[in-house]
Structure 1
């Protein structure tokens, strides 16, 4: 059942062109004068949109992180209020923006569902709407979003949005934005592993791989395994959380996987059955034989949407075969496997790290679009822009960035009275 946070009234922007007046007697319902009338509605539940949502998400332009199952798992584990925007033309859905509202320091922010763990946020748009969305239409839609969320949010924050993705310009690329401090890194996959590593330093890649295999064989060998049963999945995700906690603590970093709701989110994703080429989360690991028989040296979580594979997270046990770089070996094996399964892009996610640059051929710059809804939101937007630019500057200086991370880790271990929700 649909429940609009606008008391079941739709609200969109002023007409774009002369001769397209507001509908008479429509109350707060207004239309955008494109080729047909465009209407925006707001939903506080996902279920009424599931059929349309799953239809739109099949498009390769749409990120897995705006897929229905990904968002549903987050909503169930976090329970934030929703403000899902649907745009329709002549009754046909042309886009869905899945937003949740979180309160940070008394500012109500409407953001993409699961934003803290998303890689690329594109929203869900039909190809026709993407092709027809001019700068004028984008501005009018942005105005409509602001009006639709009046009284319910102070700021709309559309973060981690690539202006260009898979050869297409984003419909909102013309809106004012600030470059996000985190870029995303991808590897283009060729017909086989040999052709893929040829894009990199193939000679070095083969040498490193053979060396890693020889070193692990000296300890008794290994297997590349994928968790299949519920029992295997539960045991492996629990081990990942433990491995990650140890590594974060050892390096003095804040543990983003510590909150119980985050752990519940990833556990929930593991229960979603794969559909066609879509897999919300799959766990891969290096399992040792010989002297460390049955022990797990490295774990990674992969998601797949059509031909796009994303590494969501990874961990290693630094005490097992430490001279073999099991994490790097696992990447080699996973990439080789997904090539054989028809994938075209292996995505290492956001964040600039040395191993990603050694593997990747593409660096995707992402932007944040901030749409103030209230006076408080305008102040918050200015602050967020400053913070984003400051973070970008800090990340260009590794020593300073490491120091800030240590401070964050220390603060994360101390009690705090603030909450997000």
Structure 2
């Protein structure tokens, strides 16, 4: 694979419709092995706020430096206007072997609940799906890959179409849960509470908090110093490992480099700039009882993970809910427009989020072999979605899946 490839000027052939004619724009596509070579283009597009917090340079830099899957390679594709040189699209890609095939996905994988490219919203070259598809195929051929596999794609972001929402999208297995704060959302009444949780439920939750105070002073705070960040991550990894083991699920946070990735993303910055990952914890006395991490950009706080101590005297007080209630109130006061609790179904998400964001997947073949891969990925995705939907409404299926997972993980 070439470390740095300039594939020259490419003019997309989209003749045949008025909309497509508007999208005709000569572009230059460059593929970089080093993120630093794409930094200027990345920062220019990031400043236009067309992507989620997961596409910030800081978040992606931390991921690419520490959390690439074993055997994977990374490349940064930049599509620019051929005449002016202004960047139009930046795609951070991770390339992996899947059997005999090479498949490219967006950097961040499942750690990023929302996947978008960094894109210029006014670029004619991105207005027509045919044009974007042509750019992707050009990138794919340059990299020598067989297919692109994109997950967790919102169809739109901030009212604009996601350029990767191309024909062939299929619904993801799970949706994302989010909420807009009432004083920032035009379709919400001004006196709406910051969360959809009823006042009665909030009252019961605060009563549990007072019961927790019998064990020690209860406080929700951000981990700001290196020591606090390390302590919070220690607690999170311990809580998460116990929970995943109980469910019989492989712990995605146990992969090599993930601890270093999260620590790097949350590290305090010398100039006081907001880190890519903000960590909160609920403490009872000196004991950390719950942890929460979110990718934040000042407008959207996107929850990456949550975990709490499962000791009975702690768990019965639902410390995760108590912590989130405090966090949401603080985010609203700080002027955030919205927050989300990520992908997947969970009871607590309905307490804090009143909206569901439909997410999609796209497998775009580049080679002939990639076509067969795309067909198989589509069938597998549809089956996974059907199973998850059925499990969400049938507790017996959920319990059976958990039992099977535990049996499979049990040593012989």
The TM-score bracket by the shorter chain reads 0.7 to 0.9
Partners of 2:87 and 2:211 lie apart in 1 by: 56
Kept in 1: contact 2:177–2:355 (CA 8 A): yes
**Equivalent residue of 2:379, what SS?**
helix
Unaligned runs of 5+ in 2: 185-189
Kept in 2: contact 1:273–1:279 (CA 8 A): yes
**Equivalent residue of 2:51, what SS?**
coil
TM-score by length of 2: 0.87
Map of 1:335 onto structure 2: 328
Map of 1:45 onto structure 2: 34
2:127 aligned residue (113, 121, 133):
133
| Closer/same/farther in 2, CA of residues 222 and 411 from structure 1, 3 Å limit | same
| Closer/same/farther in 2, CA of residues 405 and 47 from structure 1, 3 Å limit | farther
Answering whether residue 148 of structure 2 is matched by residue 156 of structure 1, we say yes
Partners of 1:107 and 1:228 lie apart in 2 by: 43
Map of 1:346 onto structure 2: 339
Kept in 1: contact 2:58–2:275 (CA 8 A): no
TM-score by length of 1: 0.85
Partners of 2:406 and 2:79 lie apart in 1 by: 41
Instruction: Please state how far the C-alpha of 1:162 moved relative to its aligned partner.
Output: 0.8
Map of 1:400 onto structure 2: 397
Unaligned runs of 5+ in 1: 19-31, 416-421
| Closer/same/farther in 2, CA of residues 8 and 169 from structure 1, 3 Å limit | closer
Answering whether residue 269 of structure 2 is matched by residue 273 of structure 1, we say yes
Instruction: Please state how far the C-alpha of 1:414 moved relative to its aligned partner.
Output: 6.7
Kept in 1: contact 2:67–2:256 (CA 8 A): no
Partners of 2:10 and 2:404 lie apart in 1 by: 44
Map of 2:86 onto structure 1: 92
Kept in 2: contact 1:130–1:171 (CA 8 A): no
Could you give the per-residue CA deviations for residues 99-143 of structure 1, whole angstroms, max 9, x where no partner exists? 110122332110001112111111100121279612332333343
Instruction: Please state how far the C-alpha of 1:209 moved relative to its aligned partner.
Output: 3.1
Give me the CA root mean square deviation: 2.8
1:72 aligned residue (61, 73, 80):
61
* Structure 1 residue runs of 4 or more that deviate by more than 6 Å after TM superposition: 274-277
Instruction: Please state how far the C-alpha of 1:346 moved relative to its aligned partner.
Output: 1.2
Instruction: Please state how far the C-alpha of 1:215 moved relative to its aligned partner.
Output: 1.4
**Equivalent residue of 1:244, what SS?**
helix
Instruction: Please state how far the C-alpha of 1:357 moved relative to its aligned partner.
Output: 1.9
Map of 1:9 onto structure 2: 7
1:206 aligned residue (180, 184, 202):
202
- Residues paired across the two proteins, number: 393
Instruction: Please state how far the C-alpha of 1:173 moved relative to its aligned partner.
Output: 2.8
**Equivalent residue of 2:263, what SS?**
helix
Map of 1:114 onto structure 2: 108
Map of 1:224 onto structure 2: 220
Instruction: Please state how far the C-alpha of 1:199 moved relative to its aligned partner.
Output: 6.1
**Equivalent residue of 2:135, what SS?**
helix
